[in-house]
Amino acid sequence: MNYSEEDISNASIKKVAELFNLPYKDILPNYEFGKDLLCDRERSDFKENEFDLMLFDIRYVADRKTTKELNSEKLVIRTVNDYCEHMIRSYETNPKRVVDTLGLSH
């Protein structure tokens, strides 16, 4: 099944809402991670917080080129919209990983 950019964006917002335990309708595209969206859990060596889980998703779906951009800080994902755009771009190169990460049906 092929998903549209709107499908991927909506699923991305839903994922953010779930991770931060907020209603979907309360998540705005311009919300910034660490400013508007904060962790409920403290970071520890044994349990991931919301940002750790987001970073795992971001890196899991990224292709090699995007991973290099993330590592060099040429690409920085600061907002919900940045996360959505990253998932849309990554869907073109790693559709299965994006579908799995966002909980979409195959």
Please return the burial class of 38, using the count of CB atoms within 10 Å of its CB with bins 0-12, 13-18 and 19+: exposed
pLDDT, position 38: 86
The residue range of the domain holding 36 is: 5-102
Of the candidates 35, 1, 3, the one whose C-alpha atom is nearest the C-alpha of residue 20 is 35
What is the per-residue pLDDT for 3?
Answer: 96
What is the domain count for the chain? 1
pLDDT of residue 82: 97
Long-range pairs of 36-39 with CB within 8 A, sequence gap ≥ 24: 37/80
Closest CA to 102 of 29, 27, 10, 25: 10
pLDDT for position 66: 96
Tens digit of each residue's pLDDT (9 = 90 or more) over 35-70: 999 887 655 556 778 888 999 999 999 999 999 999
pLDDT digits (tens, 9 = 90+) for 61-96: 999 999 999 999 999 999 999 999 999 999 999 999
6-22 mean pLDDT: 96
